[in-house]
A and B are shown apart, each in its own frame.
Chain A
């Protein structure tokens, strides 16, 4: 079993839709959870950052972590064509000398 699983999609939605992106993981030591957004021909950029369980909201974006189920989600409300990108989940244990482990990314396309 891979440490981090993410459905690659592609996911196509109309403008204004609510989008749900998900990752599952196997390592219960993971403590920090992130979502990165990557536009075509660009490097990933940090979108959301969550420590341990719970929800975090930033504008149209909500990140959710359920450590009991080893499941994280990113919700995008009122999706826009500018949200079309690849979304990567990433996580790491609370342990010095470690680096982020990324999911494979989900490609999202929002049509106007």
Chain B
């Protein structure tokens, strides 16, 4: 069974902390994505990567960075967490040139 695994289901962090959200896929997908999902706003793209060490900004990259050192792993970094980054974070992956994404189960992050 193919999988996208997000390291934590629930996370509580303090304002100003540096936060790492990890995502690992076992499908040999080239593309990986980070979205956040908020009530009334839907899914919004933060960053995506179509190859190792490559990254592209999505619609809302401010306050975030990413790292992709290996094909199977895509990390989202909140440089200095703020309360407005409290959200559900979803990682997804797909083969190059395809749009049928496989999503992880999400990480619900609360910044206090």
A residues near B, CB below 8 A? 6, 8, 32, 34, 41-46, 49, 88, 90, 92, 96-97, 99-105
**Which A residue's beta carbon lies closest to that of B90?**
A43
Instruction: State the interface size on chain B (CB cutoff 8 A).
Output: 23
Q: What A residues does B40 contact at CB under 8 A? A: 8, 104
Distance (whole angstroms) from the CB of B97 to the closest CB of chain A:
8
In the bound assembly, the distance between CA atoms of A42 and B6 in angstroms comes to: 12
A99 near B58 (CB under 8 angstroms)? Answer: yes
B103 near A103 (CB under 8 angstroms)? Answer: no
Q: What A residues does B43 contact at CB under 8 A? A: 44, 88, 102, 105
- The number of inter-chain residue pairs (CB within 8 angstroms) is 52
The interface bits of chain B over 38-80 (1 if a CB of A lies within 8 angstroms of the residue's CB, else 0) are: 0011110100101000001010000000000000000000000
**Which A residue's beta carbon lies closest to that of B45?**
A99
Q: What A residues does B50 contact at CB under 8 A? A: 97
Contact status of A104 and B99, CB under 8 A, knowing A99-B33, A99-B48: no
Query: Does B4 lie at the interface of the complex (its beta carbon under 8 Å from any beta carbon of A)?
Result: yes
B99 near A43 (CB under 8 angstroms)? Answer: no
In the bound assembly, the distance between CA atoms of A70 and B17 in angstroms comes to: 44
Extra contacts besides A43-B92, A99-B33, A105-B42 (19): CB < 8 Å: A32-B99, A34-B99, A41-B106, A42-B106, A43-B4, A43-B106, A44-B90, A45-B103, A46-B100, A97-B50, A99-B45, A99-B48, A99-B58, A100-B33, A100-B99, A100-B101, A104-B41, A104-B42, A105-B43
Q: What B residues does A32 contact at CB under 8 A? A: 99
Query: Does B105 lie at the interface of the complex (its beta carbon under 8 Å from any beta carbon of A)?
Result: yes
Instruction: Give 17 A-B contacts (CB < 8 Å), ordered by A residue.
Output: A41-B106, A43-B105, A43-B106, A44-B43, A44-B101, A44-B103, A46-B100, A49-B99, A96-B97, A97-B50, A97-B56, A99-B33, A100-B101, A101-B45, A102-B35, A102-B42, A104-B40
